[in-house]
Amino acid sequence: MLRVFLLVFTITTPGSGLSLPGLDRNLNMSGTVNEEDQYMCACQPAFNCLHNKNYCNTSRGAGCFALNGEDGIRKGCGADKEKHLLNCQGKRNVVWRPDSGGPNLVVKCCAYNLCNVDVEDLTLPPKVVAEETTFNMNMLMAVLVPIGVLIVAVVIVVLVFRHLQKRQPGSQESPRVREELLPQEYGGIRVTQVGDSTLQELIDESCTSGSGSGLPFLVQATVARSISLIECIGKGRYGSVWRGRYHDENLAVKIFSSRDEASWLRETEIYNTCLLRHEGILGYYASDMTSRNSCTQLWLIMHYHENGSLYDYLQSTTLDWEEMLRLCHSAAAGLVHLHTEIVGNQGKAAIAHRDIKSKNILVKGNGNCCIGDLGLAVTHTQENNKIDLGRNNKVGTKRYMAPELLDETLNPEYFEAFKQVDVYAFGLVIWEIARRCVTEGMFDDYKPPFWDVVPSDPSFDDMKKVVVIDQQRPAIPNRWSSDSILLQMSKLIQECWKCNPKARLTSLRIKKTLNQLLNQPQCKKIKDTNKC
């Protein structure tokens, strides 16, 4: 608590009167002061004193005062019939000094003749103000200095980070959204800028990001929001496929219904596998979950190939030897890449497709194939010998099911068994392709496998009877026996669809055999002819 002293200043003209405490006992009945009770006090400045002199008369009850304040030193009588400068309120022989929060002045009250002449003890104590100022400055500096240091450090870090970004290859300033470095299941994602880059530029930018075959994760959502759907180009059991546009580029958007979320999640997971990118695998851009027309849609954004699926392509196109072998070899190369495990810090698990068919293989503009639709894929790594079937309990296409699936003898704990299932189905796909090869001006109409022995939508039992019980396989056209290339193709096909899974060729062996056929001099395409 600060001590508060009541200082009463009364500056009046001559003749004014004031009754003061402690003064009444020194006055007689007529209001005059007894001569023996009076004494002198020093007076300053003179205009406040009696007759402009340097002293004044006062009663012993009132006393003298001296004051040192911001306006300088003042002296005078505590109470006077002629002038009344200060009332010391009964305090005698004391010096009042202000506390740290009080007024900047010092007052002396005393009660004997000329007691207020000496003012040495009225020096203003500057230390009171100085100490408070020092204390406040110390507190202020203690708060501001750490904050200032922190701000400077943050600015330096941001500037250094931006400088390093600009020095990265392919880095350029862009007003669009950036992706920050994030810890993800598939590895860290380096900063990627969307801007007005093409999809190919974005893919090339992210090749070394460790984020798998698609774009970095945050960029995927940005790309998806910029896509316009143009036309529906296909429908399947999982949903529909649309041709979309991103800026001036075409892309394919596979839209799953919310009921097929497991398939969408599995395919997204597989496509984001490290080192999956391969020319024999359908190119993947992004996945996104969106809401349109009050309906949740699950998007899978892929490369667009205007030739469509192999199934559609074969119905309208005939092939020469080289075209046939290129389709088969490129598809086999994609299957080999799936089946192969790559060991390393950024390795790749072995993947079995489990739904190989002509509708899940796309034809590129250059005549090569790529494999898509990985929603049923199963993965395996030798390190922990773990088989990951995903959370999708759906099965593959019945028409392409291997005998061990139909008679339910497949061992799900043996990963090679899933690869052997892929090889069986791939043999049927090669059969579909080879039928459209023209030899001596002859070719066969496109037909799906077992078209002549099962309905258009065969049941599980229909396929089991034909494939397992009757052990039938699609018929090999007679004309193949008179052509050296198609004859070797027929042998290759029959090695793929053998009843005993362990007797079938591996995908690598199929690829090598097709490569040998493709490089045979007699099988090089001759201009304006379909003959070897």
Other C-beta atoms closer than 10 Å to the C-beta of 374 total: 27
Under 8 Å between Cβ of 103 and 3: no
* Dist CA 487 CA 32 (whole Å): 151
Q: How far is CA 462 from the centre of its chain?
A: 50
Torsion sign, CA atoms 434, 438, 440, 442: positive
DSSP secondary structure letters along 80-122: -SS---B--TT--SEEE---TTS-S-EEEEE-STTTTS--GGG
- List C-alpha distances in Å: 250 to 153, 237, 283, 352, 419: 46, 24, 13, 29, 33
Name 86's bridge partners.
Answer: 9
Tokens of 158: 């941001």
- List C-alpha distances in Å: 340 to 371, 409, 429: 15, 24, 20
| Widest CA span in the chain | 159
Tokens of 165: 């970004």
Torsion sign, CA atoms 22, 25, 26, 27: positive
* Dist CA 151 CA 76 (whole Å): 59
Name 40's bridge partners.
Answer: 57
What's the half-sphere exposure (Cβ side, CA atoms, 13 Å) at 461?
0
* Dist CA 181 CA 191 (whole Å): 6
DSSP secondary structure letters along 363-389: E-TTS-EEE---TT-EEEETTTTEEE-
Give every CB contact of residue 128 below 8 A, 6+ residues apart in sequence.
Answer: 98, 99, 100
Taking Cα atoms as reference points, which of 370, 419, 417, 424 lies closest to residue 397?
A: 424
Torsion sign, CA atoms 363, 365, 366, 370: negative
Q: Would you please indicate which residues are annotated as catalytic (active-site) residues?
A: 355
Amino acid at 319: L
Angle subtended at Cα 318 by Cα 315 and Cα 321, rounded to the nearest 5 degrees: 135
- List C-alpha distances in Å: 9 to 2, 43, 44, 215, 448: 21, 15, 14, 85, 117
What's the half-sphere exposure (Cβ side, CA atoms, 13 Å) at 379?
22
Other C-beta atoms closer than 10 Å to the C-beta of 66 total: 25
